[in-house]
Structure 1
Amino acid sequence: MQITFRRALVGAAALLSLVAAQAVEYKQILSDKSTLGFVYKQMNVPMEGSFKRFKSQLVFDPAKPAAGSAQFEIDVASIDTGSPEGNEEVAGKLWFNTKAFPTAKFVSSAIKPLGNNRFEVSGKMSIKGRTLDVTTPATYRQDGANGVFEGTFVLKRADYGIGEGVWADFGTVANEVQIKFRLLAAAGK
């Protein structure tokens, strides 16, 4: 009986060490392998674009998601609308006014687990000097040694003063903009 108990204890210790060895905390977004894009409608035609440069800070342990945090700073001038003319237009005062507001920022305030590797990330989004609450669903999966985080959410450009003056007409460019992200994260030490 004592031998069986000892074997069970050794087996449990081995299992716990295996689980501990597989515990991963992600601390670095691999920006060069990640994408931050958007979809909007111009004259009811879906158009896509992306931001080419952003910095981030991340702390995420899938076993303790509520203790995690994320922060992104987006170089708004790195926008790619698909055409040089479009990029120049949205950099101007009526759109992003990149000279006065060169960055957009997201800072998480809570990460809530929803089950099945799905999470709800809440925080503050600051664009063009306006800061509003944002909540986005996100999924997580492990890809080798890295973690992949994906999600989409909708923001209203008028809430941030994006597309003012002649561009305020939502018949030309829709108010709703879908933000899409796919972030590849490396484990930290």
Structure 2
Amino acid sequence: MKRLLAIGFTALLSFSGALHATEYKIDTAGAHAFINFKIKHLGYSWLYGRFNEFEGSFNYDPAKPEASSVNVTIKTASVDSNHAERDKHLRGKDFLAVDKFPTATFKSTSFKALGDGKAELKGTLTLHGVSKPVTIAVSEIGGGKDPWGGYRQGFHGTTEIALKDFGIDFDLGPASQIVELTLDVEGIAQSMM
């Protein structure tokens, strides 16, 4: 009898996990998602910026976090450092070369829950025509119903990339080789299984 109850309970847990598997569309229309970056300027200060146009989705099941996946496409010409001349330079051949590489993409390869709302997201970042593996440190912000009858889930992520790894070798000095990325994503559930 105990064995049957254990089997039944395990099946119920598996079924209930499937109930919560959901695809989320990243809420860029409502401006509830951000891709920000910062890099040292000559080693004397920080230069901040962001990408204003991107889209994507993610799948997340709190009962099976390891099955999570993320896909994001960024319009590189939307780079915005709050300075028109600098942005023109960033869009040019020395940096993003947006005419040749109009998009950057991220596609996840694994998601590992670390406990206490923390996780490690691994994937492939394609930038400037170069694809490299990156690891993003993830924190779950929260999830639940919104005032409009939908369901939302939010995460915060951070990572660092070396410009030279992606074929961007414009010399900004030794203190300005690493870009820190901060990703804040709120997704709207497309369907609740």
Q: For the aligned residues, what is the CA RMSD?
A: 2.2
Larger radius of gyration: 1
Equivalent residue, structure 2, for 1:5:
none
CA contact (8 A) 1:25 1:62 kept: no
Work out whether residues 108 and 122 of structure 2, in 8 Å CA contact, stay in contact via their aligned partners in 1: yes
Structure 1, unaligned runs of 5 or more = 1-11
User: Does the 8 Å contact 2:57/2:187 carry over to 1?
Assistant: no
Q: Deviations over 1:31-66 (max 9, x none)?
A: 121111001111221111000000102111122111
What is the CA–CA distance in structure 1 between the aligned matches of 2:166 and 2:126, rounded to whole Å?
8
Matches within 5 A, 1:1-189: 23=20, 25-31=22-28, 32-44=31-43, 45-145=45-145, 146-162=152-168, 164=169, 167-171=170-174, 174-189=176-191
CA apart distance, 1:138: 0.5
Equivalent residue of 1:186, what SS? strand
Post-superposition offset of 1:186: 1.5
Over the matched positions of the two proteins, sequence identity in percent amounts to: 26
Counterparts in 2 of 1:55 and 1:183: CA distance versus 1, 3 Å: same
SS at match of 1:170: coil
What TM-score results when the alignment is normalised by the length of structure 1?
A: 0.82
Which amino acid counterpart does residue 140 of structure 1 have in structure 2?
Answer: E
CA distance in 1, matches of 2:47, 2:24: 33
Query: Contact 2:51–2:79 at 8 Å: present in 1 too?
Result: yes
- 143 and 68 in structure 1: CA distance in 2 versus 1, 3 angstrom threshold: closer
List structure 1 runs of 4+ shifted beyond 4 angstroms.
Answer: none
TM-score computed with the length of structure 2 as normaliser: 0.81
Contact in 2 for aligned 1:158/1:168 (Cα 8 Å): no
How far apart in 2 are the matches of 1:26 and 1:137? 21
Rounded to whole Å, the distance in 2 between the matches of 1:141 and 1:24 is 18
